[in-house]
Amino acid sequence: MKYFFKNIMLLLLLFYKYFLSPIITFFGIKCRHSPSCSEYSREAIKRHGAWIGGWQTLARLSRCHWFGTSGVDNVPKVIKKRHFWAPWKYGIWRKTNDD
């Protein structure tokens, strides 16, 4: 069952990457990070699964705005296991210069 959700999320990302992203880029809107938010999401979901990768993606998207962070922001290779009922702790919601 976990592979089902993982594959569904990866399929939605492919749809975004090949159909929606070119339209958004046409209007001059680009991701401020490297790798791009869709690449980050794909890697997070492949590496950590749909649940944790989804929360990491949500945290990354919350940082990607005009007043947010920019630059290189890779998916953590190792994450500390958290409680299932506190999934927001998997994401990095804020970055400082020390990170």
Residue 11's φ and ψ, nearest 5 degrees, are -65, -40
pLDDT of residue 85: 65
- Entry pTM: 0.79
> Which residues sit opposite 71 in a β-bridge?
33
More confident residue, 89 or 5: 5
Name the average pLDDT for the chain.
83
- Torsion sign across C-alpha atoms 20, 90, 35, 71: positive
For 31-72, write each residue's pLDDT tens digit.
Answer: 888 888 899 999 999 999 998 899 889 888 888 877 877 888
